[in-house]
Amino acid sequence: MSISFSHTYTELPDRFYSAQAPSQVPAPELLQLNEELCDELGIDLDWIRSEQGLGMLSGNELPESAHPISQAYAGHQFGNFVPQLGDGRAILLGEIDGKDLQLKGAGRTPYSRGGDGKSALGPVLREYLVSEAMYALGVPTTRALAAVATGEAVHRQEGPVPGGIFTRVAASHIRVGTFQYFLVREDQEALQELTQYAIKRHYPDAESIIDFFKAVVSRQATLIAQWMSLGFIHGVMNTDNCSISGETIDFGPCAFMDEFDPKKVFSSIDRNSRYSWENQARIAHWNLTRLAECLLPLLAETPQDAIPLVEEALEAFAPQFEDKYLLCFREKLGLRTASESFINQTLSLLADHRLDFTLFFRNLTRVAMGEDSDFFAGHEKWLSEWKSYGPADASLMQSKNPIIIPRNHRIEEAITAAYNGDFSYFHRLVKAFKTPFQEQAEFADLETPPREHEKVRETFCGT
């Protein structure tokens, strides 16, 4: 039974997108299929594993109901505005169960800007691993449906490498940059249509445009707090990577920190630490301000009348973020009454002593469970203060402090092995990341941080 797509996005005017068929690939091979997500979406497993299913996942043979497009958008990239970006290597096949199904690395589009539109296999495996790990950790995120090897080489700085296609499922692919695309063109009609479409699709309870904006602000505040409580650094929080739905989107130069450093960045081109761990809330607010600018023409006759409306909504970001951030860390500490000062003191301890973020809270959970841990040797004063708050909620800590995270050195090892034809390590990580809060003896080796020579200090986007 083939997939039956719907297409609400193509009901918008054709200046929102370009029709674009995927490129053909010579020898597609299905490397990983997310069977649980297939079940959620009502996709028949026998069909998706068939020759026709592989044809869709590789872009070689699409179902009749698919209407492939690439979406137009703009964006601020590291603070610099680019009026036309768009899907340079991604093709949206349609919607299933209300969600977008998109092929990444499926070939050149009108927005490729001289690129080949392809993806190396490494970024495909990375996005599969990190997005599904993020989902298992309970954070709103785009999902991985499949990873496919294309059987062709793509040429990058390091030379020819195996190609791949990633099938991404998202609530939608509407970004702050989508709104910016029409603002810079002074296309108020398109802005109005896009806003009403986003409200209908993602925020049906919003009774007005300002209600819609407040809801987007709230979701972003919650999302960033969740990232930071896991030591996650997105790496490229450009406005074109800021999803209106509130999902984490695009997993290029991202990482879950090992040694805690609030100023840590992972993008090779983030030389000014714009997207460091500690800056993520500030940048989210900056991105939301750019969205507010796009909505001003729709809110009132003049900017003077519209600005107070968005300012009020933007002012709500900081307290909402702060509330969620403090809640997340109180849960990690198992202390519902922990003060903000104590949380800051805790993070300063981690930073000053270069402690592993995940292992710190993992070992603290063990202490709360009554186990011994020498992890806190030399930090007895802090531990005594933690205990002074009263008995910690060990079960809560177990549900909030992961045992296994997708550490970058493990992902790099899996990619290196895959480039040498061995996908067993990748498959092992897929399995391990599904249950990050559970004790898993067979994956105990994945809990350990990298040794000095294993550390990954920068990651790169997939283009």
- The two beta strands, 232-233 and 255-256, are antiparallel
What does the pLDDT look like over 324-354, one tens digit per residue?
999 999 999 999 999 999 999 999 999 999 9
Q: What is the mean pLDDT of residues 105-128?
A: 93
Nearest Cα residue to 167 out of 324, 30, 345: 30
Q: Where are the alpha helices (DSSP H) in 184-279?
A: 188-202, 209-229
Catalytic residue among 87, 240, 258, 270: 240
Residue type, 230: L
Label residue 1 by pLDDT band (50, 70, 90): confident
Coil/strand/helix, residue 155: strand
Predicted TM-score (pTM) of this structure? 0.95
Q: Which two tokens stand for residue 142?
A: 């785009």
Phi, psi at 382, each rounded to 5°: -65, -45
More confident residue, 8 or 302: 8
Rg (CA), the chain: 22
Quick one: which of 90, 85, 97, 242 has its CA closest to 171? 97
How much is the pLDDT for 458?
A: 61
> How would you class 27 by CB atoms within 10 Å of its CB: exposed for 0-12, middle for 13-18, buried for 19 or more?
exposed
Check residue 234 and give its pLDDT: 95
Tokens 């603070």 locate to 79
Dihedral of the alpha carbons of 128, 132, 134, 139, in degrees to the nearest 10: 130
What angle do helix axes 357-368 and 317-333 make, rounded to 10 degrees? 50
Contact 102, 127 (CB under 8 A): no
121-to-6, 343, 412, 419 alpha-carbon distances in Å = 29, 40, 12, 8
Over residues 27-40, mean pLDDT: 98
Cα distances (Å, whole numbers) of residue 237 to 62, 79, 281, 295, 320? 32, 10, 10, 20, 19
Q: How high is the pLDDT of residue 424?
A: 97
pLDDT digits (tens, 9 = 90+) for 162-221: 999 999 999 999 999 999 999 999 999 999 999 999 999 999 999 999 999 999 999 999
Amino acid at 266: F
Burial classification of residue 61, based on how many CB atoms lie within 10 Å of its CB (0-12 exposed, 13-18 middle, 19 or more buried): middle
Alpha-carbon 265 to chain mean position: 16
| pLDDT exceeds 90 at position 267 | no
Kindly state the tokens that stand for 422.
Answer: 């061995």
What is the domain partition of the chain in residue ranges?
9-170, 174-401
Give the whole-angstrom CA distance, residue 170 versus residue 175: 12
Q: Which residues contact 227 (CB under 8 A, 6 or more apart)?
A: 139, 233, 234, 248, 280
Lowest mean pLDDT among 52-56, 255-259, 264-268, 372-376: 264-268
> Has 240 been annotated as catalytic?
yes
| Cβ-based burial of 435 (10 A; exposed 0-12, middle 13-18, buried ≥19) | middle
Q: What is the mean pLDDT of residues 422-443?
A: 97
